Amino acid sequence: MTEKSEKLTIRISNDELEEIDSFLSYNSNYASRSEFIRMAVLEYISIKRIGIITKNNSIHPDPLIEKAISKMVSAGFYKSIDDAYEEIIKEAWR
């Protein structure tokens, strides 16, 4: 069964559109601008839901989470703390 979708119109500046097009020219993961924007919005929502990204896009996890991630990096589960956060965010998005 096909999921019904709604059409949405957004306003975006030419500079922003050029930035998106430039990004898409190097990233073939997205079939269209629409797909990219849809996925970007969903990723943003996921990031906000897990609550570790603040308004200035800085990561401020709970100290217990920070300690657990540091232990996982030390144990070799991740190459770095940045890699751990990236994987956590990707997993939250799925």
Domain segments of the chain as ranges: 14-93
Tens-place pLDDT, residues 6-53: 898 999 999 999 999 999 998 888 899 999 999 999 888 877 776 665
* pLDDT at res. 57: 64
* pLDDT at res. 56: 65
Tens-place pLDDT, residues 43-79: 888 777 766 655 666 667 778 888 999 999 999 999 9
Query: DSSP labels for the chain?
Result: -PPP---------HHHHHHHHHHHHH-TT-SSHHHHHHHHHHHHHHHHHHT-B-TTS-B---HHHHHHHHHHHHTTSSSSHHHHHHHHHHHHH-
Left (φ > 0), alpha (ψ -120 to 50) or beta: where does 21 sit?
alpha
Q: How confident is the model at residue 5 (pLDDT cuts 50, 70, 90)?
A: confident
pTM of the full structure? 0.51
Cβ neighbours around 58 below 10 Å, total:
8
Residue with the larger pLDDT of the pair 89 and 41: 41
